[in-house]
């Protein structure tokens, strides 16, 4: 069989593995909370809070969608016209036009241009966050965050670009196989090191202080059968007034993190309710599951790029002869961007299924739907979240069920428990 035949076979096998993982590892069974309960929950929220949240979201919306549309258009412009190839050439020229210079400097230049065109929208967003009192870091802090994230993507990008184009040269016929393995490996490694190498660049993490609350959440974890060494507190207040908690990493790097803003704003019982939700993510290994699904998706994408990359019409548009040419990188980036935009609703859908299970877990573990609902109200109020967002926006990108869905789930749980 030719390399192309093997690639097609690998594409089918990876696709099947991806579908199977999604079917088996994502919780599908739980029905959505009844809409009548959701509407009742919405009526119970203070009208001025709902109005202010909707005003805030409406102010953010043009920037959010402009980022998406402009980012996509620029990626297509660079990838489907010879402009991107020219940019790679120009960026590589001061370094002698060697392939490593084109791959590394040219590749990073393309990524930088794609980032810079959406920078005004990021600044617009920060201005709105400041106007609504959500941001606490000022423009200096915002700029520092931006530079840090550019530096991080430059490091990761440099490793990925050099690795990718080295493999392309060493194995011109089989690069897609090594590339797929490398992309999957990179996803696994990045998710693993995120809590220990990346998150500390942006925040300080300290173990929760000993006291009744820490004792309570550690007892809860023990009761749940989840081994937890510590709950970490992030100094989120340096940047935002939003309250949140999350789990990141897997295996030895797994950690449960709560924002210091949450500890400041919420009652101890509400914090416990949030930790109970996070314990579900830890117990069901949701980060690892998401990472494995992401790794399969990344491998699949590399094989698909190889197959699509032999399409003459596409190469002619990009002004290159072969997908292996570093000057074809903008074309690859354009294809990846399109896949990202198209797959966002599917990713959001899977995320919501996992979050619904975590909510159900928290309700069962604490047996306290009243506090759970109070916490959802507080989250929505503090984060200026639209409790019942427009359907199209929810379907496109909501990673969590809406506030009214979560409140309704608590009410359904309370009814069943009675």
Please name which of 197, 219, 210 lies closest in space to residue 276, comparing C-alpha atoms: 219
Strand, helix or coil for residue 297: helix
Whole-angstrom Cα distance, residue 144 to residue 201? 11
- Closest to Zn ion by CB, 111 vs 231, is 231
CB of 284 to Zn ion, least distance (A): 11
CB of 400 to Zn ion, least distance (A): 7
284 annotated as belonging to a binding site for a ligand: no
How many degrees, rounded to 5, is the angle at CA 273 between CA 269 and CA 276?
Answer: 135
- Closest to Zn ion by CB, 244 vs 253, is 244
**Span from 86-94, 353-361, 372-380, 401-409 in contact with Zn ion (CB under 5 A):** 353-361
- Closest to Zn ion by CB, 286 vs 368, is 286
- Closest to Zn ion by CB, 327 vs 361, is 361
- Closest to Zn ion by CB, 135 vs 280, is 280
Whole-angstrom Cα distance, residue 47 to residue 166? 59
Count, residues near Zn ion per rule CB under 5 A: 2
CB of 41 to Zn ion, least distance (A): 19
209 annotated as belonging to a binding site for a ligand: no
What DSSP assignment string belongs to 60-107? HHHHHHHHHHHHHHHHHHHHSSTHHHHHHHHHHGGGTT-HHHIIIIIH
Which structure tokens are listed for 272? 């416990």
The distance between the two most distant Cα atoms of the chain, rounded to a whole number of Å, is 75
**Span from 81-89, 161-169, 204-212, 354-362 in contact with Zn ion (CB under 5 A):** 354-362
CB of 265 to Zn ion, least distance (A): 18
Please name which of 145, 86, 93, 94 lies closest in space to residue 110, comparing C-alpha atoms: 86
Among 50, 301, 358, 408, binds Zn ion (CB under 5 A): 358
Which positions are catalytic?
A: 278, 359
Residue with the shortest CB distance to Zn ion? 358
CB of 220 to Zn ion, least distance (A): 16
Whole-angstrom Cα distance, residue 397 to residue 343? 10
257 is a contact residue toward Zn ion (CB under 5 A): no
Whole-angstrom Cα distance, residue 350 to residue 400? 10
Whole-angstrom Cα distance, residue 171 to residue 173? 6
Q: In the block, which residue shows the tokens 């096998």?
A: 13
C-alpha distances out from residue 80 to 10, 74, 100, 262, 341, Å: 27, 10, 23, 46, 17
Compute the Cα dihedral for 281, 285, 289, 290 and give only its sign. Answer: positive
**Span from 21-29, 74-82, 349-357, 360-368 in contact with Zn ion (CB under 5 A):** 349-357
355 annotated as belonging to a binding site for a ligand: yes
**Span from 83-91, 94-102, 352-360, 367-375 in contact with Zn ion (CB under 5 A):** 352-360
Query: Taking CB under 5 A as the rule, which mask of x and - marks residues 61-100 in contact with Zn ion?
Result: ----------------------------------------
CB of 275 to Zn ion, least distance (A): 11
- Closest to Zn ion by CB, 355 vs 368, is 355
Q: Note the residues at the interface with Zn ion (CB under 5 A).
A: 355, 358
Write out the binding residues.
277, 281, 355
As annotated, the binding site for Zn(2+) includes 277, 281, 355
């Amino acid at each position: 069989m030719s390399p192309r035949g093997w690639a097609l076979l690998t594409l089918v096998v990876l696709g099947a593995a991806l579908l199977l993982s999604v079917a088996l590892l994502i919780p599908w069974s739980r029905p959505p909370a009844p809409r009548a309960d959701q509407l009742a929950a919405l009526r119970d929220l203070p009208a001025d809070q709902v109005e202010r949240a909707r005003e805030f979201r409406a102010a953010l919306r043009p920037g959010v969608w402009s980022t998406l549309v402009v980012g996509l258009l620029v990626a297509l412009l660079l990838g489907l016209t010879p402009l991107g190839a020219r940019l790679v050439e120009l960026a590589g020229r001061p370094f002698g036009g060697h392939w490593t210079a084109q791959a590394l400097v040219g590749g990073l230049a393309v990524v930088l241009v794609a980032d810079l065109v959406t920078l005004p929208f990021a600044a617009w967003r920060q201005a709105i966050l400041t106007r609504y009192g959500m941001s606490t870091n000022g423009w200096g802090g915002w700029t520092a965050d931006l530079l840090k994230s550019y530096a991080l993507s430059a490091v990761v990008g440099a490793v990925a670009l050099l690795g990718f184009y080295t493999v392309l040269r060493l194995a011109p016929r089989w690069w897609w196989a090594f590339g797929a393995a490398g992309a999957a490996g990179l996803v696994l490694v990045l998710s693993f090191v995120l809590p220990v190498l990346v998150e500390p660049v942006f925040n300080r993490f300290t173990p929760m202080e000993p006291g009744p609350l820490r004792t309570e959440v550690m007892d809860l974890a023990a009761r749940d059968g989840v081994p937890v060494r510590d709950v970490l507190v992030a100094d989120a207040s340096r940047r935002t007034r939003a309250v949140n908690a999350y789990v990141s990493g897997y295996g030895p790097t797994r950690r449960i993190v709560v924002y210091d803003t949450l500890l400041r704003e919420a009652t101890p019982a509400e914090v416990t309710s949030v930790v109970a939700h996070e314990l579900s993510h830890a117990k069901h290994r949701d980060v690892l599951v998401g990472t494995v699904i992401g790794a399969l998706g990344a491998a699949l994408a590399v094989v698909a790029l190889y197959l699509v990359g032999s399409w003459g019409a596409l190469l002619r548009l990009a002004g290159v002869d072969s997908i292996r040419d570093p000057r074809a990188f903008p074309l690859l980036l354009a294809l990846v961007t399109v896949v990202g935009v198209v797959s966002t609703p599917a990713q959001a859908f899977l995320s919501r299924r996992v979050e619904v299970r975590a909510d159900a877990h928290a309700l069962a573990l604490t047996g306290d739907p009243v506090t759970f609902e109070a916490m959802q109200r507080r989250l929505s109020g503090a984060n200026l979240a639209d409790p019942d967002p427009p359907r199209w926006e929810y379907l496109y990108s909501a990673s969590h069920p809406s506030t009214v869905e979560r409140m309704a789930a608590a009410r359904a749980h309370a009814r069943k428990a009675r």
